[in-house]
Amino acid sequence: MTDIAPPRVAIIGVWLESNRQAPVAYEQDFKDFYQLEGAAILERSREANPSIMGEAAAFVKTMDATGPWEPVPILLAGCHPHGPIDGALMDKYLAICRKGLAEAGPLDAVYVANHGAMIATDRDDPDGELIALAREIAGPKARVVVTLDLHGNISERMVEQCDLIVGYRTNPHVDYVERGEEAALALRLMLAGLADPKSAFIRLPLTPASVNLLTASGPYGEMIDYGTRRRAELAGDILNVSLFGGFVFSDSEKNGVAIVVTARRDVARAQMLAREIAELGWNNHARFRKKLTPLSDAVQLALKSNRPPVIYSDSGDNPGGGGTGRTTELLSALVWAGAENVLIGSFFDPPLAKMAHEAGVGARIRACFNSHAGLPCDAPFEVDAEVVGLHHGTIVGRLGYAQGRTMHLGPSAALRIGGVTAIVISDRMQTADPMFFEMFGLDIGKAATVVVKSRGHFRSGFIPWFPPQNVYEVDTEGLTSPVLERRQWQRIPRPSYPLDEDVSWTPPEW
């Protein structure tokens, strides 16, 4: 007699990318994005335009679409990129998951929806802890499947304690849905007895800034393309190839470009391919470095007429990497220089947004950007401005990384300061979608210069106006400055390129 009971699959996840120098993430910070327990996880996942991470929603929808299953939703929490998670909060999340998994009864699988670059105030591998907890409670026979951001920093424990890790493959991230689908389909294969995954893991002494981890071109993209091609050539032997560029700003012992290859059954196949990819990456390690555009050059270019429109990344202050989202270095430089026809977004400044809403459209206000400056590189900027647009801030992303996702930016305003129009929002999010400007009726196609507080994801949202040759990564100060030598590193294993020049690596002897 065959057992026809639908598979019982628990769902847990704590999604956070931690920048060690950014403020600690507390429970309210998660609640501001999402903190869901029980049935609410399924409800939110099944929405047409979910506001939770796309891979978790896609996992649920794909399980729904591919046969019967009995979901056991326990905890799904997510926070915008921040500092370390408060250690006591992580303990609380682990306790919720422990209780939920223990009370669930026999489980066939656990799905873990994490980012992978989380650190806690009191320890460095909470992602590994959560995965190990899933394995411990669900038991050795249950399948544990994990989705992670390609900026995850991978520990040995994370790989050893699960059956499969599926990482994003595109940067800018436009493949959340595909990766959630892939995780669910791979789980179906395992549950049907068609795969018994074995993984190989290599970490390189390579810790590049995220500007060197684009996937459309460059050495990281070449590693991913190679893995994809070889996986196809090895027809059916390889279940997944995930290459983690890592998140250098976590500054942890887990940092380093990581290769995780999962074979359908034969670990030797996984090891062979992991080694090939690691060698390709290491042979190219000197290319994981990039020169940024100096601020003065960016200002000069903005003042030039008869040139194609350009977009500037305020690379030092990317809220998507834990940046404060309100440094004023580029804004003040462009205003003082008298630049014309500039759109600049988006300043995370709730008091300023509130002031604009109270004043109303057409009012002139004395705007103080970043009045609550807390960092040395983080100066306030006070200037006369006209309120030219107001919005409630709930939008649905329309292009690239945020396409189809509901975002709650809170009360938002457009302020005109001479030739510069600046966007102010009340939730700390990177400007990676045209809706950040379009919600005010602003036409990106008519701007001479657009400035965004985003490191790389804006590329997919602004590609209709700005091909790669018109994109400039400007060297600005802040918590996400790609100029790594300016920062004091505490925990990254040294030597590591490009923090150190003299670095060697030899492949593992398996």
Q: Which residues bind Zn ion (CB under 5 A)?
A: 149, 151
- Closer Cβ to Zn ion, 127 or 149, answer by number: 149
Strand 8-15 versus strand 70-78 pairing type? parallel
Residues 6+ apart with CB under 8 A from 479: 19, 21, 22, 249, 316, 317, 321, 322, 323, 324, 375
Residues 6+ apart with CB under 8 A from 287: 212, 218, 219
CA distance 384 to 115: 41
Query: Cβ 430 to Zn ion, closest distance in Å?
Result: 11
Query: Cβ 147 to Zn ion, closest distance in Å?
Result: 12
Query: Cβ 316 to Zn ion, closest distance in Å?
Result: 17
496 burial via Cβ count (<10 Å: 0-12, 13-18, 19+): buried
Q: Residue number with the shortest CB distance to Zn ion?
A: 151
Query: Cβ 74 to Zn ion, closest distance in Å?
Result: 24
- Closer Cβ to Zn ion, 15 or 312, answer by number: 15
Query: Cβ 56 to Zn ion, closest distance in Å?
Result: 15
- Closer Cβ to Zn ion, 151 or 169, answer by number: 151
- Closer Cβ to Zn ion, 221 or 419, answer by number: 221
Please answer whether residues 251 and 490 qualify as being in contact, where contact means their C-beta atoms are separated by less than 8 angstroms: yes
Please answer whether residues 182 and 166 qualify as being in contact, where contact means their C-beta atoms are separated by less than 8 angstroms: yes
Query: Cβ 47 to Zn ion, closest distance in Å?
Result: 23
Please answer whether residues 14 and 118 qualify as being in contact, where contact means their C-beta atoms are separated by less than 8 angstroms: yes
**H or E element at residue 387:** strand 381-391
Query: Cβ 242 to Zn ion, closest distance in Å?
Result: 13
Task: From 75, 90, 7, 78, select the one nearest 42 (Cα to Cα).
Answer: 75
- Closer Cβ to Zn ion, 176 or 347, answer by number: 176
How many Å is the Cα radius of gyration of the chain? 23
How many other CB atoms are there within 10 angstroms of residue 216's CB atom? Answer: 12
**For residue 417, what are the β-bridge partners?**
420
- Written as one letter, the residue type at 362 is G
Please answer whether residues 324 and 409 qualify as being in contact, where contact means their C-beta atoms are separated by less than 8 angstroms: no
Query: Cβ 506 to Zn ion, closest distance in Å?
Result: 29
Please answer whether residues 449 and 339 qualify as being in contact, where contact means their C-beta atoms are separated by less than 8 angstroms: yes
Task: From 9, 108, 127, select the one nearest 60 (Cα to Cα).
Answer: 9
- Closer Cβ to Zn ion, 124 or 149, answer by number: 149
- Closer Cβ to Zn ion, 183 or 383, answer by number: 183
**For residue 254, what are the β-bridge partners?**
none
Query: Cβ 15 to Zn ion, closest distance in Å?
Result: 11
- Written as one letter, the residue type at 130 is L
Q: Reply yes or no: is the peptide bond before residue 172 cis, omega within 30 of 0.
A: yes
Strands of 86-206, DSSP E: 109-113, 143-148, 164-167, 198-203
- Closer Cβ to Zn ion, 168 or 369, answer by number: 168
- Closer Cβ to Zn ion, 126 or 246, answer by number: 246
Strands of 127-190, DSSP E: 143-148, 164-167
CA distance 268 to 237: 10
**For residue 348, what are the β-bridge partners?**
425
- Closer Cβ to Zn ion, 244 or 381, answer by number: 244
**For residue 312, what are the β-bridge partners?**
451, 472
Query: Cβ 172 to Zn ion, closest distance in Å?
Result: 9
Query: Cβ 28 to Zn ion, closest distance in Å?
Result: 23
- Closer Cβ to Zn ion, 256 or 411, answer by number: 256
Query: Cβ 173 to Zn ion, closest distance in Å?
Result: 6
- Closer Cβ to Zn ion, 151 or 453, answer by number: 151
CA distance 163 to 135: 9
